[in-house]
Structure 1
Amino acid sequence: MVVATPNLTNYDEEQARLMEEKCILIDENDRPLGFESKKNCHLMTNINQGLLHRAFSVFLFDQAGRLLLQQRSDEKITFPDCFTNTCCSHPLNLHGECETAGLKEKTPATSAELGVRRAAQRKLEHELGIPRSELPLEQFQYLTRIHYLAGSDSVWGEHEIDYILFFRAKGPEPVTLHVNPNEVKSVRYVTPAELKQLFADAAQDKVLVTPWFRLICEKFLFQWWEKLDNLESQYDTETIHRM
């Protein structure tokens, strides 16, 4: 049974409103089961009962191969002030993000991939102000999925199967950024060495890092980064990595 608490009146009004969006509920094999509010999906009370939803994480690189990071705003209900990858969010119960009609792919991963790409395009525009015209759907590269659970505090957390998407800007100019301050506190491009320094700072409690970003970096990111010019060799779209 899904539990719907607590009251959101003490949180930022816009972030509270976004908690009413409908996420896609799934089983542990990424098969859709229905929809539930973002709020209910992120309550530890429900997560501890097994509630699981679909998500995505975008890693956006410039032409030089630097990764764009964001620092989540202080207004965020989960993991405020944390550094993380370019964009992390959810496909929703919206036209084009949850439908599979007309797709010929055989597995949940590939039948959901187009909806995840559309959701990524939508949220990159919402959070970072990157125009959709600079984010062609076919330029997103889907690498694999991870299944993880992490608490933000005693009330809120994450329990997701997370689609990992890479995107590399093709032109010499970086993507256009108009950061939404309600979502994002700061942004920066980093090299692999600079990201390793960020994690060293996090180990000394100088900065905060989201748990999913840490997990992805520890197991996958740096080897993928080395293959940025040949990412097809890193595709593992059938596997759900349990982390």
Structure 2
Amino acid sequence: MSFSSSTLITTNAIRLRNSSPSSSRSRLPIKSLPLRRQVCSSAMDAVQRRLMFEDECILVDENDAVVGHDTKYNCHLMEKIDSENLLHRAFSVFLFNSKNELLLQQRSASKVTFPLVWTNTCCSHPLHTESELVEDDALGVKNAAQRKLLDELGIPADDVPLDHFLPLARMLYKAPSDGKWGEHELDYLLFIVRDVRLEPNPDEVADVKYVSREQLQELLRKADAGEDGLKLSPWFRLVVDNFLFGWWDHVDAGTLAQAADMKTIHKLT
């Protein structure tokens, strides 16, 4: 299968949404940020700048115990990651439809880390808030996933009920993006099988695409060959190379819960 622009939902086809971005926990308006932060973030898109300085990620140790919190900005600076070993909690959603096709997204060009790469359905962070710190049954992470699926892809909460998310595993990885930015995450891998309504947010998403197993394998081949400029996010590639196709067998068989292992933290590179 070709992944040319004619087969994708392009940015021009994505409807602009009038709703404000998901975070309502602002501490400082952008104009009130200290001068140093305004200068450092001058090249960022306004939405990404606000999220970078207002969202507080959950800092954890390598056993996933909460040790504090810091801005999304600091958590994604490779200098900070390397000098202070900043590790934050994250999640990656893998959403399948009733045909057992996986929904992929291409990150928007305005993303600070890994712009325009293809990745799984939704990737983000639970925030250091009461509702997203709840650890029983990974409820805080599920709350964050539901929030970001709405924010990024316009998927209503009713389409992705919390009790339909299945946490399958946790992985710890580090990945530089462009020399300045990168990721160092303890990532919860959440699976869900639901037919959903989509209204992608162009501030977050450039394109979306449902793929079959065979279509994903073709996408991987093209990315490996450097064809069409296709790039995959490092966390998605780690999941693909270590877990995904085996888990997809469970999706097809309706036995996904049998694959869950939330006790192990997989340290991958």
TM-score (norm. length: structure 2)? 0.82
1:202 corresponds to which of 223, 230, 233: 223
Secondary structure in 2 matching 1:149: strand
Match of 2:123 in 1: 88
Q: Note the C-alpha offset of 1:94.
A: 2.1
Is residue 2:34 matched to residue 1:9? no
2:153 corresponds to which of 91, 113, 128: 128
Secondary structure in 1 matching 2:184: strand
Task: Quickly say closer, same or farther: Cα 1:186–1:95, change in 2 above 3 A.
Answer: same
The 5 Å alignment of 1:1-243 reads: 7-20=40-53, 21-49=55-83, 50-99=85-134, 103=136, 110=137, 113-169=138-194, 174-206=195-227, 207-228=230-251, 229-243=254-268
CA distance in structure 2 between the partners assigned to 1:220 and 1:22 by the alignment: 30
Greater helix percent: which structure? 2
Structure 2 letter corresponding to 1:176? R
Secondary structure in 2 matching 1:19: helix
Structure 2 letter corresponding to 1:25? L
Residue ranges of structure 1 left out of the alignment (5+ in a row): 104-109
CA distance in structure 1 between the partners assigned to 2:146 and 2:79 by the alignment: 31
Residue ranges of structure 2 left out of the alignment (5+ in a row): 1-35
Q: Note the C-alpha offset of 1:204.
A: 1.7
TM superposition outliers: structure 1 runs of 4+ over 4 Å = none
Identity of counterpart residues, as a percentage? Answer: 49
CA distance in structure 2 between the partners assigned to 1:53 and 1:240 by the alignment: 14
CA distance in structure 1 between the partners assigned to 2:90 and 2:140 by the alignment: 11
CA distance in structure 2 between the partners assigned to 1:129 and 1:179 by the alignment: 5
Structure 1 letter corresponding to 2:56? K
CA distance in structure 2 between the partners assigned to 1:127 and 1:195 by the alignment: 21
Q: Note the C-alpha offset of 1:60.
A: 0.1
TM-score (norm. length: structure 1)? 0.90
